[in-house]
Every structure is written in C-alpha cells, then in structure tokens.
Structure 1
Amino acid sequence: MNNPGLFQARWNLGRLAVCNLLPLALLGFWLWPTGQMLCVMFDEWLFHLLNSPLATHPTWLHIWAVASLRPFDAVVGVILLSLLIRGDWVFKASDVRRAFFGFVSILVLMLVIRVLFSKFAAFMGWQHQSPSMVIDGAVHMSEYFPGLERTWELKDRSSQSFPGDHASVLLIWAMFMGLFSRSLGQCVVVWGLALLFMMPRLVAGAHWGQDDYIGGVLLAIWALGWGYYTPYAAKASDLLLRLTAPLFNLLERMPLVSRLSVVRLR
C-alpha cells in the first residue's frame, strides 16, 4: 500500500504560522510605498532586459512566442505531471499515487485561495495592467504573430495581471516537490523547470515580476501551509484513494498503462 506517513494527519502549528506570516510580510512589503517603488524599479529593468531583444533577435522572438501560446501550457503540465508520477525519482513508486492525490488536493485548495484573494485584491484596488500595456516601447508579440493570437491565444498582455496565477501553479508544484526531494540535483531540476516555465509571461510582458515573486509566491505558500501542515492533504488523499480504487483496479489490467507507477502500487 501507499505510505500513509507521506502526509501527516495532524496540525503543525509552528510551520503553519510561518506559512501565514511570510505571505503577509511579502504583501506588507509590496504595499509599503518604498517597497512598491523598489518592486517597480526592478520590474521595469527586468522587463526591458527580457522584452527588448524580441525586436532585434528573431530566434528569441520565435522561441518565446511559442512558449507563450496556450497549448504550450498543456505541454508544461505534461512535463510537471510526468515528473510527479515518475516512480523512484522524488517519490518511491509505492508512494506515487498518494503523492499525486495529495498534490491535486493542495492545488485545488490553492485555486480556491486564488479566487478569494483575487476578489479581495480587486476590491482593494490592487489590480494593475501588465507591463506590455503601460510601458512605452514594449514589444508586443501579438503584433508579430496576429494569426497565433487569434488561433492559439498568444498571451502577451492582461488588464488584471496580479497575482500571477500561472506562476502560482508552477511555484506550488516546485514547493511540493521540493519538500520531498532527496538530493540537490532533484531540487535544481524542480526549481530550474519552475523558473524556466515562468519566463514566457515575463518576456512577453503579460505579467510584472511582482505578480510572480509577490502574488504567485504568497498564494503558493498559503496553499502549502493550509494543505500540507494541516490534516487536509492526508485526509483528502485518503478519500481520493478510496474513491478511485475501482478505476485503478481496472487500469492495472490494461497493457502499458499498468506499468505506470501511479497505477501499480508495487
């Protein structure tokens, strides 16, 4: 059976407190006028560094145009999922199914937190337009590839870019995998991929850096705290294991599919 100790059905109040106070500290720094000024200065520098070469380097333009398409998000999802359910990499093969359901439950929790926080941010007037809509001289990839924008939803601008929802998903995945990583190499791969896949929105100008390193980080930490350091993930993964047992019993009899670690418990 999957290891029932992967998630503990008890409260870790100390770490839960940290996971609540740290996002509040980030939010406080962001709302502090001096902190906001520093964020804007850094973000404008970062935006020009990443976005300006699009106008003069066709290879750079084409790479990030592809990476900014909606279908590419599905490719990223497949890569992240593959690493999550790969047996005997971060998780033992016997733990993969429980880890998968634990992550899904924490991801659902984060989506709920994001909806509530976004509504609160809109109410407080914290929302803002993306840098591609407000910075003079911004390179708009949609102007170079209007067909891609119409057909594949090329993402290079947003009227409400805070918090970075795309980044929050990547960050919660990286934080979750990082909790269980057993080597420095695994941590480097996990965080390297997360940061790499956050880049397209920053290069295209769909998000400010602060949408990710403030908004995305605080959502991910809140979700990790309330999901992992409470009984939530343990109870949710237990429930999902029981509910899906008949389905996986069927999948175990199917060729090829039965070889996946998430399907077999051995």
Structure 2
Amino acid sequence: MKNRLPLILLLNIAGLALFLSWYLPINHGFWFPMDASIFHFFNYGLIESRAYVWFLAITNNRAFDGCSLVAMGSLMLSFWIKEQAQGRRRIMIIGIVMLLAAVIVNQLAQHLMPVKHASPSLFFPDAYRVSDLLNISTKDASKDSFPGDHGMMLLIFATFMWRYFGHKAFAVALIIFVVFAFPRVMIGAHWFTDIAVGSLTAVLIGMPWILLTSLSDKTIALFDRYLPTSQNKV
C-alpha cells in the first residue's frame, strides 16, 4: 500500500485535474467546441444515410447493451475455462466484487459530481433524433447525461481485467469499451466529455483505492471464505 500510495494520489490528481479543466472554465473552455463538433459530425449523418440511422438505432437499443454483457462475460469465460475448480470459483468471485465496485463508484460519482446537464440531442434545437426518424426503441437522449454511467461501467470492467488478468485482457476490454460506449456519443445521448471527462474522472479517482490497495483482494478473500461451495456427494 505504501509503495503504491504515490501512484494512487497521482491518478487521483490526474482525475481531479481532468474534471476541473472541464468544470471551471466558462462554457467548459476548449471542451465545448470539441463536444459540439463531435456531436454535429455524427448528427448530420442522420439525414444522409438511412443505413446509418438504423445502425445507431440498433447499437443504442437496450438489447445491444446485453451484447456488451455477453462480450464482457465471454472475455472472463476465456479465462474461466482454463482453470480448475478453485480458479473458476475465484474468477466468479472477482466478477461479483467487480459488480459491487461498479455500483459503488457509479453511485458516488452520480451524487458527488456537481453537474447536471442534458444530452446534446436535447441541448441543440436543430438536432436530429433517431427516435423521430425511426419507429424503434433506442436511447438517443438523456435529461442528465453526466457522467456517462454506461461508459463508466465498461471502464471499471477494463480496470479489473488489467488488475487480475493482465495487459492483453485489458486491451481487449478497452476495445469492448469503445465498441459499446461510443455509440451513445454518436447518437447524441451523451456528450463526448460525459465519458472522456465524467466517466474517466470517476475511474481515476475511485478505482485506484480499490485495485491498487488491498481492498479488492481482501474482499475477494472474504467472499471466498463465506460464500458456499458446491461439493460432490459420493
């Protein structure tokens, strides 16, 4: 813990600096032109291609969120099938602790970050909405989009992959993050900074205290001790 404390504090400072670089300047400084440009770049495409509209509608449907769970589960499964009974049990417990950490960090971020704003699809009066162009259920707007909770959950998954399964798993998890988080930005349900600032800030401040201390390891050990085990009866 003592050896990692400088790194933890450095990551916390980086997260705080990232947030303040967006929060303190009037109209969010250089971040707002970037946000607006990214939104309009993707939004104008809605009137140019029907296939693009369908693509965004499908990738922001709640069923597609289930695909992200399948992708994350498949990555963990690739490690689970290589293990014996005890190793498989540990991977399942890591998954439980990861979910617990994700809920706690997400709730703290939602309540402690002094920000509430609507998504760009609601902010810009000239914005095109996928839900207006297609009769299909899709998430293309939010009255409170900061921080991006979906992106935050995916980033937390990536940090657990790095901590317990290595750099290759972390790289795959980052690909999963991009594939499943950025369609929210493309459709206008989130600003780019909802994820690049909001989600990342929460992860940089919250996750080091979980993964770079003994907290996650001790929680896994605690669950391993008290959760029931399946025993084969003779």
TM-score, normalising length from structure 1?
Answer: 0.77
User: Which residue of structure 1 aligns with residue 206 of structure 2?
Assistant: 223
C-alpha distance 225-43 of structure 1, shift in aligned 2 (>3 A): same
C-alpha distance 14-106 of structure 1, shift in aligned 2 (>3 A): farther
C-alpha distance 30-216 of structure 1, shift in aligned 2 (>3 A): same
Q: Is the 8 A contact 2:16 2:205 kept in 1?
A: no
Which ranges of structure 1 fall in alignment gaps of 5 or more residues?
1-9, 253-266
Q: Quote how far apart the aligned CAs of 1:49 are.
A: 1.6
Q: Which runs of 4+ in 1 moved over 6 A?
A: none
From 189, 196, 212, give the equivalent of 2:172. 189
Per-residue deviation, residues 181-210 of structure 1 (Å, max 9, x unmatched): 6566x5543322211111221111110001
C-alpha distance 193-217 of structure 1, shift in aligned 2 (>3 A): same
User: Which residue of structure 2 aligns with residue 30 of structure 1?
Assistant: 22
Q: Is the 8 A contact 2:43 2:188 kept in 1?
A: yes
Letter in 2 for 1:137: D
**1:1-266 matched pairs, under 5 angstroms:** 10=1, 12-33=4-25, 36-87=28-79, 93=83, 95=87, 97-121=89-113, 124=114, 126-146=115-135, 148-149=136-137, 154-179=138-163, 182=166, 186-246=169-229, 248-249=230-231
Which ranges of structure 2 fall in alignment gaps of 5 or more residues?
none
Per-residue deviation, residues 139-169 of structure 1 (Å, max 9, x unmatched): 21111233x33xxxx2110111100000001
Q: Is the 8 A contact 2:163 2:211 kept in 1?
A: no
Letter in 2 for 1:70: R
TM-score, normalising length from structure 2?
Answer: 0.86
2:79 alignment partner, SS class: coil
Q: Is the 8 A contact 1:172 1:221 kept in 2?
A: no
Q: Distance in 1 between matches of 2:190 and 2:184?
A: 6
1:87 alignment partner, SS class: helix
Q: Distance in 2 between matches of 1:249 and 1:81?
A: 25
Per-residue deviation, residues 198-240 of structure 1 (Å, max 9, x unmatched): 1221111110001000111112223321211122111111122
C-alpha distance 224-168 of structure 1, shift in aligned 2 (>3 A): same
Q: Is the 8 A contact 2:11 2:204 kept in 1?
A: yes
Q: Is the 8 A contact 1:176 1:224 kept in 2?
A: no
Q: Alignment length, in residue pairs?
A: 231
Please provide the CA RMSD for this pair: 2.6
Letter in 2 for 1:194: F
Q: Distance in 1 between matches of 2:219 and 2:166?
A: 24
